[in-house]
């Protein structure tokens, strides 16, 4: 495997994804906690960072102990750190070195740059520049503005690049990463979804033996794939619980239950809408609503799980981005929303946790799901928040409001599917706003509810842009909603990007 040392760059996870696209397994570790370099570690990549090596307390490592152990690739800050610690000189850049540049010099005889073309586009994003490289290093690529775009050690397996090969704007970045990972580090490219499934199912068999496992299904990709992996390992000893919190999409509960049954899973559906509505009565603050929904979920789930004899394990669909220890070099990061609605579950239930997806990124979970023959309808679903429509009804929640929003959402989502737009959108939904507006229907003035439609494109939900859906489509959906859903007389379309807005409205 490859170890990526994270110095806090926004692009660190992208490096990991690119390496994995080469079917090579890699892990991200904070620079301050370097794991032992045993035989399984074939190479190290040092990430970028928002910091400067000229800062007094810049993130630092004992480089001397690593050089010569395995091949090392420094990217951006990683390259500057290697240069700085080996006797090179780093100065603030005089010109902006941000954005696209083209290589004006490339030594394609160097192993790292094999098959990289002169003029190849690279993506720069740094405010320091490497003025002189250490002795015993040589420059292997330059751009018109940045002479030291790539350099390597003449005596040790150390390569450094100032630009970011992991972003798609570096047109041959993948070739560079392949050269490093496959040719220099000699990693075999055998980390495929099929192999992952075989290895994980066999590990799960060893880990779980004859134990009973309980798992909460949500209808989403992660919990479904996690359930199928565990199901392949232990069959009927896996007990799935699918709770209807009354905040799901229209018909979702029965539709999803049906598809799970088709997959051979042992699933119990629990209709608990009443309990959720009761706990939500009168609550208007988004965080209070999230907490109430999380609390009731745990209560219901716990009560159901207790009915199963001898349960030892709680299965969860936790994925890699949730467990990567984040490096915060600019002070502690703030919790923006309490997303992990059911974080308290394992402690309360006193169960051991089994998380077969905790090394995978979302797109990898889908690929594993395909390898397990899970229905595309489940694998291709848009993300849907745990608290469901509860955070799409702004203000307090009532059964009547849920019903209105379910109808609106149904028209919108079905419309996207009918027009072949569903897969072009990363996530879509409707918000019921806590205001009423004036309208006319026939000869009468109305004073009714307003709904907002939201459709975004995104890669991971961290940033997002609104989708430029065709006007004709929006017009048709708006007409259908106002004509068919009683109580709604106005539809608006959300054209904010994230940041500064968020995807959800609460």
Q: Which residues are catalytic?
A: 76, 164, 166
Q: How far is CA 300 from CA 151, 159, 218, 295, in A?
A: 59, 55, 14, 9
Helix (H, G, I), strand (E, B) or coil at 408: helix
Residue with tokens 């395995």: 70
Does 503 participate in binding ligand XMP (rule CB under 6 A)? yes
Question: What is d(CA 382, CA 119) in angstroms, rounded to the nearest whole number?
Answer: 39
Name which position in 245, 341, 406, 478 contacts ligand XMP (CB under 6 A): 341
Residue 385 engages ligand XMP in binding (rule: CB under 6 A): yes
Question: CB-based contacts of 44: which residues, under 8 Å, 6+ apart?
Answer: 2, 3, 4, 5, 37, 66, 70, 71, 72, 73
386: contact with ligand XMP by CB under 6 A? yes
We find the least distance from the C-beta atom of residue 41 to ligand XMP, in angstroms, to be 33
Tokens of 349: 């239930």
- Least CB distance to ligand XMP at residue 384 (A): 7
Choose the binding region for ligand XMP from 106-114, 115-123, 385-393, 467-475 (rule: CB under 6 A). 385-393
79 vs 357, which CB is nearer to ligand XMP?
357
Distance CA 362, CA 385 (A): 15
Binding to ligand XMP by CB under 6 A, coded x per residue (else -) over 288-317, reads --x---------------------------
Among 157, 383, 439, 487, binds ligand XMP (CB under 6 A): 383
Applying CB under 6 A, does 43 fall inside the site for ligand XMP?
no
Separation between Cα atoms, residue 494 and residue 37, nearest integer Å = 49
Looking up tokens 């390597």, which residue turns up? Answer: 152
What is the SS3 assignment for 499?
coil
Q: Applying CB under 6 A, does 245 fall inside the site for ligand XMP? A: no
Residue 216 and residue 245 in contact, taking contact as beta carbons nearer than 8 Å: no
Least distance from ligand XMP to the Cβ atom of residue 364, Å: 18
145-184 positions binding ligand XMP, by CB under 6 A:
none
Give yes or no for residue 504 binding ligand XMP (CB under 6 A).
yes
Contacts of 6 (CB under 8 A, 6+ apart): 12, 28, 29, 30, 31, 47, 324, 327
322/448 with CB nearer ligand XMP: 322
In contact, 263 and 372? CB cutoff 8 Å = no
Does residue number 381 form part of the binding site for ligand XMP (CB under 6 A)?
Answer: no
Under rule CB under 6 A, residue 339 binds ligand XMP: yes
**Closest Cα partner for 349 from 406, 306, 316, 382?**
306
Contact between residue 319 and residue 358 where contact means Cβ atoms under 8 Å apart: yes
C-alpha radius of gyration, the chain, whole number: 26
Helical ranges in 22-149 per DSSP H: 77-85
Task: Tell me which stretch binds ligand XMP (CB under 6 A): 141-149, 345-353, 443-451, 498-506.
Answer: 498-506
Measured between alpha carbons, how far is 138 from 271 in angstroms, rounded to an integer?
Answer: 67
CB of 423 to ligand XMP, least distance (A): 16
Q: Which stretch binds ligand XMP (CB under 6 A): 17-25, 125-133, 144-152, 497-505?
A: 497-505
- Binder among 114, 156, 337, 381 for ligand XMP (CB under 6 A): 337
Q: Is residue 286 involved in binding ligand XMP (CB under 6 A)?
A: no
220 annotated among ligand-binding-site residues: yes
Pairing outcome for strands 267-271 and 311-315: unpaired
Site size toward ligand XMP (CB under 6 A) is 15
Mask: binding to ligand XMP, 426-465, rule CB under 6 A, as x and -? -x---------------------------------x----
Q: Which of residues 190-209 bind ligand XMP (CB under 6 A)?
A: none
Residue 222 known to bind ligand? yes
Is the distance from CB of 397 to CB of 417 less than 8 angstroms?
Answer: no
Closest approach, Cβ 434 to ligand XMP, in A, equals 17
CA angle 318, 323, 328 (to 5 degrees): 150
Q: How far is the CB of 411 from ligand XMP (least distance, A)?
A: 19
Nearer to ligand XMP, 245 or 427 (CB): 427
Distances (CA, A) of 22 to 73, 179, 215, 291, 315: 16, 11, 32, 41, 29
Q: What is the largest CA-CA distance in the chain?
A: 86
For residue 224, say whether it is annotated as part of any ligand binding site.
yes
Nearest approach, Cβ of residue 150 and ligand XMP (Å): 36
Ranges assigned E (strand) in 149-288: 150-153, 158-161, 212-217, 238-244, 267-271
Q: Is 390 in the site for ligand XMP (CB under 6 A)?
A: no
The reply, when asked if residue 218 is annotated as ligand binding, is yes
Contact window for ligand XMP (CB under 6 A) among 299-307, 378-386, 439-447, 470-478: 378-386
Determine contact, residues 484/411, Cβ cutoff 8 Å. Answer: yes
Q: Which residues are annotated as a binding site?
A: 218-224
Positions in the binding site for ligand XMP (CB under 6 A): 290, 337, 339, 341, 383, 385-387, 391, 427, 461, 498, 502-504
Which segments are annotated as binding site for ATP? 218-224
């Amino acid at each position: 495997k490859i170890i990526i040392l994270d110095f806090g760059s926004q692009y660190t996870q992208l490096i990991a994804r690119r390496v994995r696209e080469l079917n090579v397994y890699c892990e991200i570790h904070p620079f301050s906690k370097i794991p032992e370099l045993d035989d399984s570690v074939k190479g190290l990549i040092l990430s970028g960072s928002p910091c400067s090596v000229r800062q007094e307390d810049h993130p630092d490592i004992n480089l001397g102990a690593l050089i010569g152990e395995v091949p090392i690739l420094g990217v951006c800050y990683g390259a500057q750190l290697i240069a700085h610690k080996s006797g090179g000189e780093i100065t603030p850049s005089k010109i902006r070195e941000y954005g696209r540049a083209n290589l004006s010099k490339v030594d394609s005889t160097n192993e790292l740059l094999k098959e990289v073309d002169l003029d190849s586009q690279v993506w720069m994003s740094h405010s320091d520049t490497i003025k002189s490289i250490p002795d015993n290093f040589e420059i292997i690529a330059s751009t018109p503005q940045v002479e030291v775009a790539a350099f390597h050690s003449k005596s040790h397996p150390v390569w450094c690049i100032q630009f970011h090969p992991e972003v798609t704007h570096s047109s041959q970045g993948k070739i560079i990463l392949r050269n490093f990972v496959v040719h220099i580090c000699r990693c075999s490219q055998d980390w495929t979804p099929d192999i992952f499934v075989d290895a994980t199912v066999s590990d799960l068999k060893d880990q779980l033996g004859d134990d009973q496992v309980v798992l909460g299904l949500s209808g989403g990709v992660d919990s479904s794939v996690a359930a199928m992996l565990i199901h392949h390992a232990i069959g009927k000893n896996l007990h799935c619980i699918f709770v209807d919190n009354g905040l799901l999409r229209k018909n979702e509960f029965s539709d999803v239950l049906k598809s799970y049954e088709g997959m051979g899973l042992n699933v119990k559906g629990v209709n608990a809408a009443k309990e959720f509505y009761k706990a939500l009565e009168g609550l208007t603050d988004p965080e209070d609503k999230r907490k109430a929904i999380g609390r009731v979920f745990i209560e219901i789930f716990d009560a159901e799980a207790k009915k199963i004899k001898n349960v030892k394990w709680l299965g969860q669909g936790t994925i890699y981005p949730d467990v990567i220890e984040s490096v915060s070099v600019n002070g502690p990061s703030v919790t923006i929303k309490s997303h992990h609605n059911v974080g308290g579950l394992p402690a309360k239930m006193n169960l051991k946790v089994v998380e077969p997806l905790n090394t995978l990124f979302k797109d990898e979970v889908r690929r594993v799901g395909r390898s397990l023959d899970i229905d595309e309808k489940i694998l291709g679903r848009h993300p849907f928040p745990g608290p469901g429509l509860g955070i799409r009804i702004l203000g307090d929640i009532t059964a009547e409001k849920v019903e209105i929003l379910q109808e609106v959402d149904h028209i919108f989502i079905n419309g996207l599917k009918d027009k072949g737009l569903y897969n072009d959108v990363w996530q879509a939904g409707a918000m019921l706003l806590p205001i009423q507006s004036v309208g006319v229907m026939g000869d009468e003035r109305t004073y009714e509810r307003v709904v907002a439609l939201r459709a975004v494109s995104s890669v991971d939900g961290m940033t997002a842009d609104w989708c430029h859906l065709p006007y004709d489509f929006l017009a048709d959906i708006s007409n259908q909603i106002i004509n068919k859903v009683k109580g709604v007389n106005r539809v608006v379309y959300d054209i904010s990007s994230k940041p500064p807005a968020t995807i959800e409205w609460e």
